Amino acid sequence: MTHTRPPVDAPAPPAETVVSRPRPRAEPRDAFRLPLLSFLLAGCAVALVLGVYAAEHEPAGYSLDVPGFSSPLYVKAWLTTAATVFGVVQLLTAARMHDAGARPWTRTLHRWSGRLAVVLTIPVVVHCVYALGFQSGSTRALVHSALGCFFYGVFVTKMLALTRRGLPRWVVPVLGGAVFTSLIALWLTSSLWVFTSSGFRL
């Protein structure tokens, strides 16, 4: 009688060692709130310091004049007008900056138009804060003084937000819109008022 040996199972191939990699830790959806709040507080601090200094210090009543202009009032009016023109350029380029068919220089023009707009307002704010102080003698003057403080506060907030990654896409456009709107309002309450009440000249 023949005995058949039971089949021997072939050894199973060694299982592949699976190395589990730690998953990147996802940031909470509201992780941007604290940085954004700190940026807003910094902007509010800038606006508050400008307003308090302009209101509390004794106005000097004079400022540096620019040759070729009839008065410091018109220096302010034309500098603010030039800043507003660059602000409009920045608004138009912002709408085209992310377009696939935009010109390569669109982004550069956007940045430099914004920089020039702010630089042109610096002599104006120095004159307003140092020479005139915070004006509240009329509704126009009060609104204009408050807008000047708000403009620099929201500008600082926007610049800080530009350096922070991970913010929602709406943050910078909203801040940029606030900067542009306040600049237009400043022009309406200063330059346009000067041109309509005192004449259109240098």
Query: Per-block average pLDDT, block size 10, for the chain (202 residues)?
Result: 52 52 52 76 90 81 66 82 90 74 78 87 84 82 89 90 79 87 90 82 74
By the 8 A CB rule, do 127 and 97 touch? Answer: no
Residue 24 confidence (pLDDT): 47
Residue 26 confidence (pLDDT): 43
| Residue bearing tokens 């377009």 | 99
Contacts of 165 (CB under 8 A, 6+ apart): none
How far is residue 16's CA from residue 169's CA, in Å, rounded to a whole number?
A: 44
Residue 110 confidence (pLDDT): 82
Domain residue ranges in the chain = 33-58+67-197
Encode burial over 96-110: b for 16+ CB neighbours within 10 A, e otherwise.
eeeeeeeeeebeebb
Residue 95 confidence (pLDDT): 73
Residue 54 confidence (pLDDT): 83
Give residue 196's identity as a one-letter amino acid code.
T
Residue 172 confidence (pLDDT): 82
How far is residue 32's CA from residue 168's CA, in Å, rounded to a whole number?
A: 8
Residue 100 confidence (pLDDT): 62
| Residue bearing tokens 């072939």 | 10
